[in-house]
Structure 1
Amino acid sequence: MRVLVTGGAGFIGSHVVAALRERGHEPLVFDVREDPGADVRDPAAVGRALSGVDAVCHQAAMVGLGDGVADAAEYVSRNDLGTAVLLAAMAEAGVGTLPRTSGSAPAGGIPVRAWLTAQALLALLLNHLLLTGW
């Protein structure tokens, strides 16, 4: 199975990549650390990366404490907007599997369309608009 791992060069993402390889899958790393053009906020880049992919493991995120409120817009942009862009591109590309990998979520996968409710996207975009003023 070809699996796009967003944030695949990060701490958790790199372990996901290694585990996928060990199990005979083909992980594809999509991470700005390896390629500045591999940004989950870029619909065209995400669309290209999804070509031929069977599933996505989304680990791309801005983490850490940052500088408080001053970093809020960048956190929202990378985390919320990036996730919304990824989910929309997955739906458009017909990639229907997004395994849950959070330590607080049960194992398994969920259909992408279940994530793409109008309310979920609206909430992500409103967060972005409120915190960035854009």
Structure 2
Amino acid sequence: MKFKIFTILFCIMFLSGCMPKVMTFSGENENWEVQFEVSYDKIKNDKCGATSGYIRYIGDKPIPKQIEYTIDHDLETSGSDSLDKNGVFTMAKGCSNAVEGTEVEIKIKWDNQSETIPLKVK
């Protein structure tokens, strides 16, 4: 009986160690909602986590046609693009060394306006 319990516990610990670690950084203000994810593959022991995310316009004015953004983390990610008809921009896949405790913020420019939003780990 003890062997079965030990085997089950060992399997659970092994399988949980194989799952990727995902950190979700998010923030919002009166105009924007942002989510930025960094995923590390524990098996590969990645030094650089795969990134993804989105920027969503939630303001009261019409959806901006074009935005520029810069995400400041261990590496700088920036770009300029248009939002879809729902006011969402999906970020291209990338790479980051951000870990818990890393300060991450995004600066968004649109229609002669600019805002900086701190992103916190959820």
TM-score class, shorter = under 0.3
More helix by share: 1
TM-score with structure 2 setting the length: 0.27
More strand by share: 2
